[in-house]
Structure 1
Amino acid sequence: MARKSKADKTPGDTGGPQHVAIIMDGNGRWAQQRGKPRLFGHHAGAKRVHEVVDSCRDLDVKYITIFAFSTENWKRTQTEVAGLMSLFRRYIRKEMQALHDRNVQVRFIGDRMALDAKLVGLMDELENYTKDNDGVNLTIALNYGGRDEVARATKRMARDVATGKLDPESVNEQTLTGYLDTRFLPDPDLVIRTSGEARISNFLLWQSAYAEYEFIDTLWPDFTPAIFAEVLARFGGRDRRFGAVDTAAE
């Protein structure tokens, strides 16, 4: 069955989400509950990513975006940040062939300027290796912040205005969307945050204007495909009107 675009959706539409974004929170607490260092939890969380992405095909999720490292995460200890960067490099090397074999297309969003050259090279390699895959679209937000993304987008717009490539009078919502890191993605239908925290933490601020949110208590390493399926099932019962009125309910 063909997917509906946002413009095609009607009041009361209960179809499943086309694009799911996930704030993968709770790795550190999961490890501490077991008397382990925080990096132990991050490694467990990386394994969970593999399982959840694998489940997307059976759950009819075409796009999944995961929040791997925020622009604010540099405030963590040097040991944890270094360990995370090492984990990202190891994950890409280990998963590259498997992601390709599973027909997953991978893209990264975020500011790459602060990342080391070796990691950026691996990111570029993974994107290029999987660019022709047409199954699940996995987007990894790495050194990403919603406000930072909008600031970078407006800088690019300003440069185009200054050089005459863009008429400032023509700028509208769609114009800015075309300058964002996520310009190749539909807006998320559903944003999930694990670990019981009920905040959005600067994640996809522009794109999530009409997204549904699920804040669940489960820590990310315990977030199984079965729990994912339960959350998606709840989404199907929501009445998404995008500002319109459901006249059928009156």
Structure 2
Amino acid sequence: MSSAPGSPRHVAIIMDGNGRWATNKGWPRLVGHRKGAERVKEIVRVAPDLGVEYLTIYAFSTENWKRSTEEVLGLMTLFGRYIQREAKALSEEGVRMRFIGDRSRLDPKLRDLMVWIEEKTKDSTKLNLTVAINYGGRDELLRAARRIATQVEEGALAPDEVCEELLDRTLDTADLPDPDLVIRTSGETRVSNFLLWQAAYAEYEFTPVLWPDFTPEVMAEILSRYGHRERRFGGVKP
């Protein structure tokens, strides 16, 4: 396994298929989520070697609250345990961990852990890991629009000052570059409300591999294919 020339700087992943992976084996869905968390640790460790500087993973969407109470509570517990157990390793391996999404609905203890790990790893530079929890692209845009509207209403901002750059700075991802590549596992071919604004010109890769089976080798193969794509951002090749 090796990084290919022209590797994407920022890779975003819709980690799909944990529940299906467990169900296929006759196990509870939460077993699949635990296996998926182990896979996250593995991909985080190899990402810098593959040339990735920014890794954003879709952990829990604004729509995932529709799942059973047992599964939601299990996922929230899993998030907290991951932060606690991986804090030392992330810091030692140079991984900066941040979160995007609406934190208001999350348990206060989990919110405190999120702030704690963000502070603990803020000076790390080897890999920027962003975890989307209670995140939805539409919700993010709505929250940003409301903040801008408030500034206009208060007279702090003129309507003609509202521009793409301002919206960029108002989004949860204000200090992140746009993703170069978005990967979705499990064979589904939809974007599921993920980084709708930021991924406007991202390349997409849909793989049938379920997330718990998404090995570093699969990641390397996808990044290798990305290196052969021609990105024109709406222009034409001279």
One-letter amino acid matched to 1:164 = G
Deviations 1:195-239 (A, max 9, x none): 000000000000000000000000000000111000000000001
User: Is residue 7 of structure 2 the alignment partner of residue 16 of structure 1?
Assistant: yes
Give CA-to-partner distance per residue, 1:76-128, whole Å, 9 cap, x none: 00010010011111111101111011000011000000001000000000000
Identity %: 61
Count of residue correspondences? 234
In structure 2, distance between residues paired with 1:139 and 1:235: 21
1:162 matched to 2:153: yes
**How far apart in 2 are the matches of 1:235 and 1:21?**
13
Q: Give 1:165 deviation, angstroms.
A: 1.9
Alignment partner, residue 214 of structure 1 = 205
* Aligned ranges 1:16-165 → 2 under 5 Å: 16-165=7-156
SS of 1:83 mapped into structure 2 = helix
Q: Give the drift of 1:15.
A: 2.1
SS at match of 1:178: helix
- TM (normalized to structure 2)? 0.97
Q: 1 CA distance for matches of 2:157 and 2:227?
A: 40
* Counterpart residue type for residue 147 of structure 1: R
Alignment deviations for residues 135-159 of structure 1 (CA, whole Å, 9 cap, x no partner): 1000000000000000000111111
* TM-score, normalising length: structure 1: 0.92
Letter in 2 for 1:234: R
Q: Which amino acid aligns with 1:65?
A: T
Separation in 2, partners of 1:49, 1:147: 25
Question: Displaced runs of 4+ in structure 1, greater than 4 A?
Answer: none
Structure 1: gaps (5+ residues): 1-13
Determine the C-alpha separation between the residues in 2 that align with 1:163 and 1:126.
Answer: 35
The separation in 1 between residues aligned to 2:91 and 2:134, in whole angstroms, is 24
